[in-house]
């Protein structure tokens, strides 16, 4: 050993055989979070299984902007958007209750990513009281929450843009959503409805040939009335859908949006 050079000793210590005999590695132990089950929801053709995600409206000089909470039903693509100044518990729980109340049918499932704004004991307790099943996205499965993430860009970013909106304006933005945008999205804006085909090898492919509004998809479900909440009726929803044409609804929504942006930031054009 005395005749072995120091350099050679270092070479030996870096060899695979030395590391196998002398080194010991301990794997990182993940901290388990029991809130929500890691799996993709299985609605089986029933409405009420919603996908939920958060969209941040950007920072300015280190100050956070508003947050949009986006929820989309997996079967009908019925969409409800709300706005909060922060995603802390004090603001998020009331916003989620308002969001859930705007769906005309019973909510059975609540699916989100693994963000702490949804994966916490407060949200879990609220969903348990409402008998709503909570699930969360699986690792390395980017499509688990892909439906709502696609709506983040196609709806929220399209209408609200990327420019910073101060937290003080969250109530005004939320009022615009509840009064104008949500009804336009669900009764007057067609969405691509996927037809799933399976080839000889078992590979599934989604083909988009049908474009229907979420209301049209819902009303075509077998015995659709059984999914409605108490106090809701197909007749009332049909009257609401036919109260104005798609063009009239879009024009009224755009006028309200221009008025909103003029109030938020005078001189700035809407998205």
pLDDT for residue 139: 79
Q: Model-level pTM? A: 0.82
Question: Mean pLDDT across the stretch 128-154?
Answer: 88
Residues 141-150, mean pLDDT to the nearest whole number: 84
Question: Hey, is 194 helix, strand or coil?
Answer: strand
Q: By three-state DSSP, how is residue 142 classified?
A: helix
Nearest-angstrom CA–CA distance, 90 and 147: 27
Please tell me which residue, 87 or 50, carries the higher pLDDT value.
Answer: 50
Partnered with residue 18 across adjacent β-strands are none
The pairs formed by 221-226 with CB atoms below 8 angstroms and a separation of 24 or more are 221/45, 221/47, 221/75, 221/76
> For the segment 51-99, what is each residue's pLDDT rounded down to a tens digit?
999 999 888 888 889 999 999 999 999 999 999 999 888 889 999 999 9
Q: For residue 12, what pLDDT is reported? A: 74
Q: Hey, what domains does the chain have and what are their CATH numbers? A: 48-264 (3.30.420.10)
* Cα–Cα distance for residue pair 160/220, rounded to 1 Å: 31
In 177-219, where does DSSP find H-type helix? 182-187, 214-219
Q: How sure is the predictor about 116, in pLDDT bands with cuts at 50, 70 and 90?
A: confident
Q: Does pLDDT of 2 surpass 80?
A: no
Pairing between strand 204-212 and 191-198? Answer: antiparallel
Q: Where are the alpha helices (H) located in 14-120, listed in sequence order? A: 16-22, 89-101
The pLDDT of residue 24 is 47
Residue range 180-236, pLDDT digits in tens: 999 999 999 999 888 878 888 778 787 888 899 999 999 999 999 999 999 999 999
Banded pLDDT at 271 (limits 50, 70, 90): low
What percentage of the chain carries pLDDT values higher than 90? 58
The predicted structure's pLDDT at residue 115: 85
CA distances, 180 to each of 85, 155, 172, 189, 223 (Å): 20, 13, 12, 12, 28
**How far is the CA of 201 from the CAs of 121, 195, 197, 248, in angstroms?**
43, 18, 11, 47
pLDDT of residue 7 exceeding 80, the answer is no
- CA angle 136/140/146 to nearest 5° reads 60
């Amino acid at each position: 050993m005395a005749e072995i050079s120091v350099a050679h000793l270092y070479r030996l210590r870096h060899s695979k055989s030395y590391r196998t005999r002398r080194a010991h590695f301990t794997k990182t132990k993940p901290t388990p979070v029991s809130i929500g089950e890691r799996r993709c929801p299985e609605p089986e053709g029933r409405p009420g299984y919603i996908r939920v995600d958060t969209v941040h409206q950007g920072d300015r000089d280190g100050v956070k902007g508003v947050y949009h909470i986006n929820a989309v039903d997996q079967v009908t693509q019925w969409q409800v958007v709300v706005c909060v100044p922060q995603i802390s518990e004090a603001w998020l729980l009331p916003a989620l209750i308002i969001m859930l109340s705007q769906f005309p049918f019973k909510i059975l499932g609540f699916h989100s990513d693994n963000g702490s704004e949804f994966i916490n004991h407060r949200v879990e307790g609220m969903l348990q009281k409402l008998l709503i099943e909570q699930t969360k996205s699986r690792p390395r499965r980017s499509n688990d929450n892909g439906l709502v993430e696609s709506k983040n860009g196609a709806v929220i970013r399209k209408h609200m843009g990327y420019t910073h909106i101060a937290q003080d304006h969250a109530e005004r933005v939320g009022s615009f959503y509840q009064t104008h945008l949500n009804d336009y999205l669900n009764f007057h804006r067609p969405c691509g409805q996927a037809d799933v085909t399976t080839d000889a090898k078992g590979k599934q492919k989604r083909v988009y040939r049908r474009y229907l509004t979420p209301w049209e998809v819902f009303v075509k479900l077998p015995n659709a009335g059984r999914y409605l909440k108490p106090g809701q009726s197909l007749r009332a929803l049909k009257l609401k859908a036919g109260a104005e044409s798609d063009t009239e609804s879009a024009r009224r929504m755009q006028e309200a949006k221009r008025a909103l942006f003029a109030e938020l930031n005078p001189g700035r054009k809407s998205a």
